[in-house]
Amino acid sequence: MSEVMYVTQETLEQLRSELQKMKGVDRPAASRAIAEAREKGDLKENAEYDAAKEAQGLLEARIAKLEGEIANARIIEIDRIDTSKVSILTKVTMTNVKTKKTVTYQVVSEKEADLKAGKISVTSPIGQGILGKQVGEIAEVKAPAGLLKFKIENIEI
């Protein structure tokens, strides 16, 4: 069901830390909220109890999802990345053929994607379009705005 997710050691540690917080802080807080709401009387007409139970259910779903992601995470070692072609964790400098605008992005997993920081997801249209390309090649990317063409200028770590 879940796909393998390639991440750096740093990102895996962040995921584990987030999971630990959910289990150690958020889960007990949700249980306390349910207990407090239960003390307020009739459960059939207790909206606070219903809200607390729903919040607990959402928290448990997030915990299960995060546990699955961690179980399927594979650490990528930066010193083993092949920079002869675009792959995950490489920094790619490319020029839009039409506008002549040059941009540099690092191709990362979905969890690490942050466009403001210059990190694009490997599963995004641009990420998929440039994956496997070499310096000098033209990548054709199907985007909502239409077909975009990028010339790969440089690939580095």
The predicted-structure confidence for 30-74, as pLDDT tens digits, reads as follows 999 988 888 887 767 778 888 888 999 999 999 999 999 899 888
Question: Do 156 and 83 touch, CB atoms closer than 8 A?
Answer: yes
The reported pLDDT for the residue numbered 58 is 95
Q: Quote the pLDDT of residue 1.
A: 42
pLDDT in tens, 10-29: 888 999 999 999 999 999 99
Q: What is the pLDDT of residue 2?
A: 55
What pLDDT does residue 146 have? 87
Question: How far are the Cα atoms of 9, 10, 12, 73, 81 from residue 76, in angstroms, in the given order?
Answer: 7, 10, 10, 10, 8
Q: Give burial (CB, 10 Å; 0-12/13-18/19+) of 109.
A: buried
Q: What is the pLDDT of residue 136?
A: 93
- How much is the average pLDDT of 76-97? 87
Domain residue extents for the chain: 5-75, 80-156
Q: What is the pLDDT of residues 105-142, one digit of tens each?
A: 999 888 788 889 999 998 899 999 999 999 999 999 98
CA angle 42, 48, 54 (to 5 degrees): 110
Domain 5-75: CATH class, spelled out: mainly alpha
- Note if the pTM is more than 0.95: no
Distant-in-sequence, close-in-space partners of 95: CB < 8 Å, separation ≥ 6: 101, 102, 103, 150, 151, 153
User: Domain 80-156: which topology?
Assistant: Chitinase A; domain 3 (3.10.50)
Q: Are residues 69 and 5 in contact, defined by beta-carbon separation less than 8 angstroms?
A: yes
Q: Provide the pLDDT for residue 45.
A: 75
